[in-house]
Amino acid sequence: MFNFPRVKFVKMERVLFAFSKILGLLIRPVIIYLLLRYNHKDLATDFALIVTSVASSFVILNNQNFREIYQYFIVSNRSKGGRGLGGRYLLQEYIEGTIIHIVVFLPVAGIFLFFWTERLDLFLSSMVLMITEKYFDEDQRILVYKKKYYEWIANFSARVILPTLLFIIFIVTFDIDSVYIYPIVSVVFLLVYIGIFRRQYVRVFTVCIVCFRKSGIWLSILRYWQKYQKEYFMAQVWIVITANVMYVDRFLVSNAWPDKYAEYLLIVNLANIIATFHNMGYVSFMKPKLIVLEVDVYRAQYSARNLIIPLLLSILVLFGYLVLNLFSLSIVTFDYEVVFMLVMLYYIHAISFVPKELAFWRIRREHLVVIDGLVVVVPVVSCYYLSTQILSIVISVFVAVLLRFVVFSFYFRHLEKLNAIR
């Protein structure tokens, strides 16, 4: 297996790590922009649908049995004597659970994908892409926990950056006006990545599969299913719902206004800069403090940094959009009201990261499911019974996300009162 050399200057690792994340954030919107600008509107729409449908659906394949194995990786990484993979039984149980979870829930994720795409060709392309994304995502998590940033960059490059670049090169060079090339290129880069960096894990995976078959497939499935019902089910439901809160507007727009969807996703990605940079620059550093039960939750939610940093980012995004229009570089035909409301939506989304993290460690999963479930239901009901206009859809999601922010505030106040009584 190819091993990256360790560099003493860890800060350089982190800089490259952050740079690759930013590049990955921007590259797909740039591709959509170029496709729209050079009259590939259908291809831009198909590409936007595939990318969004996979991001929305693939969370269903995220099995919740990763905590023990990731804890092992953290401990072995800190241990001076830690060598190799270790924890053979733990690793075997994790791989077995992952395989079973994918096999059982792949049809469910497929149903989600079909609701998004509504076309057999896009559905099949999305299924292929979702499976490659699943592998890369599992691999990325372990690399982050082990703080192997260079390897994470290689993973992310093979997952997002290189396939997207090669996709646009094929379109420009060979005049291929088909989105099917993208999942094919993704599979090629997955095989290359595994062949260069993960051959040892393939051997471990093969051994685990053999043990899985010897121990009895149905017995393993039953054992995992019992554990899933007891420990993972409610967490899985909440993760799927909360991950799709910020996709419900995209789903509604893609169904009501399919010819406008590529443009809409372009503006959404521009607005999402607010949430992404706030998460990278502030929330990620706050997470260890937010886990501590003694922290002042109300003060953390309404801290100046949590409110002002996204506000400044929102102003920058709006200014950037105005500059694009000023130089006639914008290709979006939406009214300014839609753009402004999307920026406000992602401002609320950004300042909600802290209360969501606080809620994860303090509120029962059943209550979180109800709260986030209502955030999804409100815009859906509004769209189907009140108005299908894009501005109305965005406003309904904005109101729902804002209400969740307020509900968390009242919930935290209630918890503080209970703790004071105790």
Q: Is the pLDDT of residue 343 over 80?
A: yes
- Looking at the fold, whether 385 and 247 belong to one and the same domain comes out as yes
- Looking at the fold, whether 126 and 172 belong to one and the same domain comes out as yes
- Other C-beta atoms lying within 10 Å of the C-beta of residue 254: 23
- Report how far apart, in Å, the C-alpha atoms of 21 and of each of 164, 280, 361 are: 14, 9, 27
Per-residue burial over 195-210, b if 16 or more Cβ lie within 10 Å, else e, is eebbeebeebbeebee
- Report how far apart, in Å, the C-alpha atoms of 16 and of each of 96, 143, 177 are: 34, 15, 33
- Report how far apart, in Å, the C-alpha atoms of 274 and of each of 161, 233, 285, 396, 418 are: 21, 32, 16, 20, 35
- Looking at the fold, whether 293 and 352 belong to one and the same domain comes out as yes
Whether residue 154 is contained in a domain is answered as yes
- Looking at the fold, whether 119 and 238 belong to one and the same domain comes out as no
Residue type, 362: R
Residues 6+ apart with CB under 8 A from 126: 49, 50, 53, 54, 57, 113, 116, 117, 183
What range does the domain containing 81 cover? 7-215
Whether residue 407 is contained in a domain is answered as yes
- Looking at the fold, whether 240 and 339 belong to one and the same domain comes out as yes
- pLDDT single digits (tens) 244-277: 999 999 999 999 999 999 999 999 999 999 998 8
Whether residue 45 is contained in a domain is answered as yes
Query: What is the model's pLDDT at position 81?
Result: 44
Q: How confident is the model at residue 8 (pLDDT cuts 50, 70, 90)?
A: very low
Residues 6+ apart with CB under 8 A from 340: 318
- pLDDT single digits (tens) 166-205: 999 988 888 778 899 999 999 999 999 988 888 777 776 6
> 């090169």: which residue's tokens?
169
Domain count across the chain? 2
Whether residue 223 is contained in a domain is answered as no
- pLDDT single digits (tens) 369-405: 999 999 999 999 999 888 889 999 999 999 999 999 9
Query: What is the model's pLDDT at position 267?
Result: 92
Mean pLDDT of the chain: 83
- Looking at the fold, whether 185 and 247 belong to one and the same domain comes out as no
- Looking at the fold, whether 173 and 283 belong to one and the same domain comes out as no
- Looking at the fold, whether 64 and 25 belong to one and the same domain comes out as yes
What whole-number distance in Å separates Cα of residue 25 and Cα of residue 160? 9
pTM above 0.95, yes or no: no
Q: How confident is the model at residue 49 (pLDDT cuts 50, 70, 90)?
A: very high
